[in-house]
Structure 1
Amino acid sequence: MRWADLEGRRVAVWGFGREGRAALNALARHLPGQAVDLLCAPAEARVAGDAFTSVRVRTQTPDEALLSGYDVVIKSPGISAYKPELLGAQARGTRFTSGTALWFGTHPGERTIAVTGTKGKSTTSALLAHLARSLGVRTALAGNIGLPLLELDGASAALWVIELSSFQTGDALGVDLGVVTSLYEEHLDWHGSRERYVDDKLKLLAASARVLVNATQPALLARAVAHPGLITFGDTAGWHVAEGWIRRGTQDVVPASAVAAPGLHNALNACAALAALEQMGLDARAAAPAVSTFVPLPHRLQPLGQHEGLHWVNDSISTTPLASLAALESLGERRVALIVGGHDRGLDWMSFVDAMGRQAPLAIVCQGANGPRVADALEAAGVAGVHRALDLAAAVAAARHALGGDGVVVLSPGAPSFDQFKDYAERGQRFAALAGFEPGVASIQGLGIA
């Protein structure tokens, strides 16, 4: 969809988060004088009215009748496309779009790499931008990673690296290279089922001229194999990790340990970034040494430092059990107390339980809304060192006690934060404070154009 498609129509913006505000600002730039309504929560109404004086603010809960009164609704990504009221309005003729769709619809000539994946998409996107910039390429880093595309509307870059969530992949259009880092069970509350999540995630394949996928995941590879522009990473023919090295085919390029972000999975993310650069005609081998100067993203296996004899690692971004397993893998043979649990989306934890039955850390502290369910499953499987805690504060105290002043406390919940916090960042910041570190706002470096 293009901005011209909205001119003279009955238009609403649904959601007053960062994406919603970016859409309102872009509407004012592209269609000055266009009437627009904002659908937001009552608590947001005053701030919204003060910031956008020409916008009519509506605080009633959007139902089918309200939504069907508009020709076009620009919705925020977090609002599920499968809400019954949305589907009902859609059937009555309302068109739903997004800031992402509007950006792609009006930037058909840009060189674009779009990155998605259950895990690894943010780190891969940031690594891609960092490595491209090390070669002197003016690169934009935006999207789901923390900067809506519409905030860069009208800006120019030689290369656009765009992270897309599963909520946004269907809005992409004309992508030069689509990258899929991994595919696991996630966001079932938004999509409604695992099958729909997978289908939505892989809409990026249809939107991309070429696709780069993780060859270490057979199920993902099977879904992508029919794409005429398929390229892979993680297999021995291309960029992969073997014997402690990041390799291109049989050639050792840089040690895997050179990647500033820890863990085998991050070395594989680096392979994805290098393979993507190569596919865009850039010198990936020349860029490879810059993996050592990459600043790891906050809340993603972020080493906080040492306090009271313990090392602390913040992996609050972890919202699936497999992410918790990856966090443990990155810590090797150290004495570890792992904190898991949070908002319960009904995900299957049995792969985690099975892995813990084979090799568990010194302590697993289960907290939050789904903590009892996870603890029950671990204990039923005979896993030792299981502790229960009501909330994150109690979990940190239990982890401290279990380690006795020697080891690593890692927060890698394997679940969302919404049972106790507004988002994973607030959870990570609270963990850091409980660990005894000075408060600070962790931000992702490199967003925007450089």
Structure 2
Amino acid sequence: MKTLVYGMGISGKSTAEHLKRKREDFVVYDDNKKSKKYTNWNQDLSGIKTIVASPGIPSTNTILKKAQNLNIPIHCDIGLASFEKKLPKIISVTGTAGKTTLVSLLVDVLNANGKKSIALGNYGLSPLDILKSNYEYWVIEVSSFQSKRLAFLKPNIGIYLNLSQNHLDWHETIEDYKICKGTIFKNQDADDLRIVNSDLEKKYIKGKAKEKEIKKNEFSNLRKDIHEDTLSTVGLCIKELNLNHEIAKQSIINFKTLMHRYQKITTNDGIHWINDSKATTPLATLTAIERTPVGSIVLMGGSDKDLDYKKTLKKIKNKKMKLIPFGGISHALHKEASKLSVDSSKPCNSLEKAIQKAKNNGKGKTILLSPGTASFDEFTGYAQRGMYFIEKIKGG
């Protein structure tokens, strides 16, 4: 019997290398016809004992549906790592927005306190790549795609930062999305800790761990450019792990924010530009808008994932900002903005045209790129979108 490695992206390649090191029998497959060397499998599940699927492959996929009907276990690379013995201490982080910043900040704080730590999962390496490395802590970013396939992952600290509508192209319903997010706690016991946002529905949170809600503490206001809930959560972890408070505070103060996450860019055109391309949900964009000056210009747009933007658009209106919608969602955004009496320009069919329109009206103002959705209508991901934005505003 073989393991099927389904999807040969970053996690798929890490899984294949891991199985090769363990001398296990496996087959690889990718639906992408361009990946010819990964398309030789005949899709016969009779000899398959386990599937390790890439996060982007939804449960509605034909092969995975057949596997479910045959009771074949389906894991992600993180789930596969959970079968290994003697794993380090684990902090897992999920939520709709802010996961990557929280993971990066926790790793910095832990390392500053002499606790050798690394960022893994949806942000960082696959756990399978570092099983032989001597880390004291794994800090794992877990997407809703991965949370459905975590197998026996048992975090010492599980963190559920926030929730808003997202990824309904993968989950089909908001109910399934909520259920998946809550599964990171399912294997915890009474010695573990779960940290949750007080706004979350408790019926979706399972497990025996002790619980703490995210509340203000001495770390919450150390940075104005990082969300208060993120800093409050770091503070809870610092206290739970008995870390040195002064060392931790200095680490937070010195922390360099991530590229494409509310990244301020200096140009010579009299405009204050902010690259927040990593904001791929309405909640992430709402958070960015809250930090941006009244009267700014906001560029929103990208792939249409049928998300609810009402709260975000109302915040734009309340702060007397101007919206420039672009890309695949531009017409729907403009229509919704008009209903809410938001100051919105006509739709732009590309980010390039939106940037030019913002430039023409932006002297002396702040212009925020915070798309609020995915980038796949024009780009391969948020990073390429962010780099394109930087290039264009700097005269590229």
Which residue of structure 2 lines up, in the alignment, with residue 408 of structure 1?
366
Is 1:231 aligned to residue 241 of structure 2? no
- Taking the aligned partners of 2:368 and 2:46, their CA distance within structure 1 comes to 47
Query: 2:182, 2:206 within 8 Å by CA — same for their partners in 1?
Result: no
3-state SS, counterpart of residue 366 of structure 2: strand
Question: Per-residue CA shift, 1:334-358, capped at 9, x if unaligned?
Answer: x411100110111122222333343
Is 1:42 aligned to residue 3 of structure 2? no
Which residue of structure 2 lines up, in the alignment, with residue 186 of structure 1?
166
Query: 1:42, 1:59 within 8 Å by CA — same for their partners in 2?
Result: no
**Structure 2 residue identity aligned to 1:345:** K
Question: How far apart are 1:112 and its partner, in Å?
Answer: 0.9
Could you list the structure 1 runs, at least 4 aligned residues long, displaced by more than 4 angstroms after superposition: 220-228
3-state SS, counterpart of residue 384 of structure 2: helix
Which residue of structure 1 lines up, in the alignment, with residue 384 of structure 2?
426
Which structure 2 segments of 5+ residues have no match?
none
More off after superposition, 92-101 vs 117-126: 92-101
TM-score, L = length of structure 1: 0.81
Question: How far apart are 1:282 and its partner, in Å?
Answer: 2.4
1:45-444 mapped onto 2 (5 Å cutoff):
45=36, 49=37, 57-58=38-39, 66-67=44-45, 69-170=47-148, 171=150, 173-209=153-189, 210-215=192-197, 217-220=198-201, 223-224=204-205, 228-234=209-215, 240=216, 247-248=217-218, 256=221, 258-259=222-223, 262-263=225-226, 265=227, 267-333=228-294, 335-361=295-321, 363-403=322-362, 405-436=363-394
Query: 1:68, 1:89 within 8 Å by CA — same for their partners in 2?
Result: no
Query: 1:40, 1:59 within 8 Å by CA — same for their partners in 2?
Result: no
Q: 1:372 to 1:174 in 2, by over 3 A?
A: same
Query: 1:73, 1:97 within 8 Å by CA — same for their partners in 2?
Result: yes
Question: Per-residue CA shift, 1:37-68, capped at 9, x if unaligned?
Answer: 333522123xxx5xxxxxxx3257x8xx5445
**Structure 2 residue identity aligned to 1:42:** K
Which residue of structure 2 lines up, in the alignment, with residue 243 of structure 1?
none
Which structure 1 segments of 5+ residues have no match?
1-8, 50-56, 235-239, 241-246, 439-450
Q: CA RMSD in A?
A: 2.3
**Structure 2 residue identity aligned to 1:343:** S
Is 1:16 aligned to residue 8 of structure 2? yes
**Structure 1 residue identity aligned to 2:144:** S
Query: 1:224, 1:230 within 8 Å by CA — same for their partners in 2?
Result: no
Question: How far apart are 1:422 and its partner, in Å?
Answer: 1.1
TM-score, L = length of structure 2: 0.91
Question: How far apart are 1:275 and its partner, in Å?
Answer: 1.1
Identity among equivalent positions (%) equals: 25
Which residue of structure 1 lines up, in the alignment, with residue 18 of structure 2?
26
Query: 2:155, 2:188 within 8 Å by CA — same for their partners in 1?
Result: yes
3-state SS, counterpart of residue 52 of structure 2: strand
Aligned positions, number: 392
Bigger proportion of residues as strand: 1
Question: How far apart are 1:109 and its partner, in Å?
Answer: 4.2
Query: 1:67, 1:86 within 8 Å by CA — same for their partners in 2?
Result: no
More off after superposition, 99-108 vs 12-21: 99-108
- Taking the aligned partners of 1:90 and 1:222, their CA distance within structure 2 comes to 25
